[in-house]
Amino acid sequence: MERMLVVIFDDETKAYEGKAALRQLETEGSITINRAAVVAKHADGTTGVKQYDDVNPIGTLVGTSLGGLIGLLGGPVGLAVGAATGLTLGALSDASNVCVGEDYVEEVLRSLTPGKVAVVAEIEEGWTTPVDTRMAALGGTVIRRALYEVRDQLRKDEVDALKADLAQLKEEFASANAKRRTKLQSRIDQLQARIDQQKKRAQESLQAFQARGATRRELFKKYASAVGRALKELVKTPLT
C-alpha cells in the first residue's frame, strides 16, 4: 500500500539514523521508498529541509504529495529548500497534491515541535511492523496515512455531496410544473454526468495505482542486488 510516512525524532542525528534504517528496510525488501526528506522545525516555527532523496532530479519535489506536505509544514512562504535547488517551501504547498487530509497535517504539526527533526517519505509497505519496530528502537514517533485511501475518500465525499444535490433536485422535479421541470431535468442530467465521471475516475485511479505498484515490484525484483548495493553505499555517504 502506498503511504505517506512521517517519523519524528528528538534530534538530527537520530533522524538520519532513522532514514538510514528505512533504506535498510528497502534493501531487505520490506518497503519501497519513492522519495524521502529530512526536515527540521526551527525555534521560530519554520521548517527547513535538511536533506532530500529521490530517484529523479530534485525538481520533482514540486507537485508531489511529499512536496505538498513539506510545504504545509514549512511556515512562512519563501523559506529556501536549499541553495542548490532554488526551490522554496511556498512553491511546494499546493494542498491538492498532498492527498493526506487536513487531520493528518494537523497531527504532524502537533508532534513536530521546535527542535524536533522528522523523516518524511512516500513509501509502499505491505505491513507496518517492520517500520514501526525499527523506528521505535531509534526513539521515533511514526505517523502514517495511506495515500490512495485518502484520494478515494475525497472522491467518495464529493460523489456523496453530488448525490445529495441530485436527490434534492429530484424531489423538486416531482412537484414542479412543466416549464420548471425542463430546467430541473437539465441540472439533474448534469449532476448525474458528474457522478458518473467521478466513478469512472475512481476506477481509473485504482487501476493505475495497482499497475504502478506491480511495475515497481517487478523492477525491484529484477534489480534487487544492484539496488541493495547502491542503497548500502548511499547510507555510508557523509552528510553535507
Instruction: Dump pLDDT digits (tens) for 40-96.
Output: 888 877 777 787 775 444 444 545 677 777 777 764 333 334 433 434 444 444 444
| pLDDT score, position 101 | 67
Cα 71 to chain center, whole Å?
A: 12
Helix residue ranges, H only, the chain: 12-27, 65-73, 89-92, 102-111, 129-137, 147-175, 178-222, 224-236
- Whole-Å CA distances, 206 to 125, 155, 212: 17, 12, 10
Three cell numbers written together for 13: 542525528
Helix (H, G, I), strand (E, B) or coil at 58: helix
State which amino acid sits at residue 1: M
Residue of higher predicted confidence among 229 and 221: 221
Maximum separation of any 2 CA atoms in the chain, in Å: 76
Contact 32, 220 (CB under 8 A): yes
- Compute the distance between CA of residue 81 and CA of residue 75 in angstroms, rounded to an integer: 12
The phi and psi torsions of 48 (rounded to 5 degrees) equal -110, 145
- Whole-Å CA distances, 109 to 23, 74, 91, 156, 211: 25, 10, 19, 26, 33
| pLDDT score, position 92 | 43
174-193, pLDDT tens digit by residue? Answer: 988 988 888 889 989 988 99
